[in-house]
Structure 1
Amino acid sequence: MSSNSVSSMIPSFSTRLFMYTLLITVFQLDSARELFDEMPKRDNVSWSTMIAGYSHAKLCHEAIELFNEMISLDIVPDNIALVSILSACAQLGELERGRFVHDYIRSNGIRVDSFLTTGLVDLYAKCGCVEIASDIFESCKDKDVFTWNAMLVGLAIHGKGLVLLKYFSRMVAEGVQPDGITFLGVLIGCSHAGLVYEAQKIFNEMESVYGVARESKHYGCMTDMLARAGLIEESVEMIRGIPGGGDVSAWGGLLGGCRIHGNVEIAKQAAQQVMEIKPEDGGVYSVMANVYANTEQWDDLVKIRRSLGANRRAKKITGSSLIRLNGH
């Protein structure tokens, strides 16, 4: 390889300086953006790094605006920029913008490798287009664990548990080593589909068969699933087996199951644990109010509502989900 060829692969000093500064200011994106704006010449590496920083920090609108500016200046984005913008679109539910990026990839003849395939699968799966995500997934010849995980998680969040288990079996059969995200997706999919036995089997095999350590999020998923299935005692035993004790997600899952099945005593215990771990979580008061109302324990209902009013730190976080389509 000639010296000119080698030098052409080395980023310019300004680009390397920008990339280094962005790395050390990963949570100071305003400073990084100031440096970016002051650069006399910005190549696609600089643009891509800034877009990736915004996307990683979940500043998705900023990432999309910068990508639009990049395209308007006829600067060709690399795969890092494309995957980052697909991730930003997926996080916002911006299906139309994501489709624009996909069309841009096709119209410019950009090779879709496993890295880019993962971004596309993640976008379409999270936006509800599971069939399109599956088609893109199947077209990839060099799928890695991240590509498989994107497909598995997409199936999981849409409750396609049986299909997910088939994909997981294929993944293992093709020699792809699953990781913690793989198992989280599988457990969530089983939970949404009510596949308790299958989830228990896979959970028990995580360490012994696949060599993947169980983490608190895996335990939390199992406790939530068991409790929602009415297996309250099994859920309690699962929490007792968590190294270091249960976290908010584990106790919250147990509390949710108790609400469904009217187990007041264990609901009280779970609620107390949540309040101790996260006293600002006002949602626990609402759940307990529902528990008391469903069991007609009106005195306790009044007490829990008064407690919520007295706790100035408690805030109820409202859940939301959205997708943008046809301008709406």
Structure 2
Amino acid sequence: MKYKLGEFVRFVEERREGYITRIIDDQTIAVTDEDGFEIPVLASQVTRVHGKSADDEPVFENSKAVDAEFISSGILLAIVPDKKAGSVVHINLVNGTSYVLLAVLTTEKSDKFKGQFYGVITPKSAVQMYSASLNELDQWPKIHLQILFSSGNTKELKKPIEFSEKFRAKDFSGAKKTSEYLEQAAWLIQLDSDEPIIDPQKLKESFYRPAAEKLQVENPGKEIDLHIEKLRDDHQYLKNSEILDIQVAFFRKKLDAAIVHKLPSVIFIHGSGNGTLRNEICKVASKHPQVKTFMDAYREKFGYGATEVFLK
């Protein structure tokens, strides 16, 4: 089977068609039709619709003329949603430099490596290297990208780029940005960022800035909701361990804010659930030097789903 994510296929034995949104195994794929239903089907029971496949219609192959001025930086990894199948994303390499790039992308899963892409990327262009389903983010392999630079005439030898990443939900929580070499907004990761330039005057001014101006801690209020859907828009893509880490970190931040504002107490709403978050809150509170005590908050209102922490 040589089908890829994002390809447009038609069922052999029935009048149905759609985009491939999941590779289940070597013999089975999942196709999402125009009504949004995902249908598991044997690969042998569908056929590619030419003119709408990923092979026949590459997402990005834009190439612009090289400027007279030599551009030495501007290598980006761009992750874009598929225009037709939103659950599929494509990983692209954007070459905004005047260099010719030789790129190799390899995936790693269960200590096994597989070459997914190799090729030459011309200056001022972008190319698609890999596709995956965002709904299966926790099953994505680790990405290894190696890039070599070539140019007809430069003053220095550019060091190769080696980038390795196991993507998590947090990598897709930020806003998408545009690039002149892409046809749509994407999550962008710069691979050749320059060293930050420090403005001596601004650095000097920061030393003499009043303490109140340097740090302003917002009053957390009397009640703080720790439910993950209140903290992150991408919570459906997070693992349970990642959710707990985010909730505990937010609890610590708001507890510190309550101490700064000298609140007598603060209520943390964590829900009943399996008690894991409540236990973590109690563990932190019991060891905190500024916590006097803690107890279940207003059972008639919250049941066992909230803890009130009293501060010294």
Same fold (TM over 0.5): no
| Structure holding more strand per residue | 2
Q: Which has the higher contact order (CA 8 A, sep 6+)?
A: 2
Larger radius of gyration: 2
TM-score, structure 2 normalization: 0.31
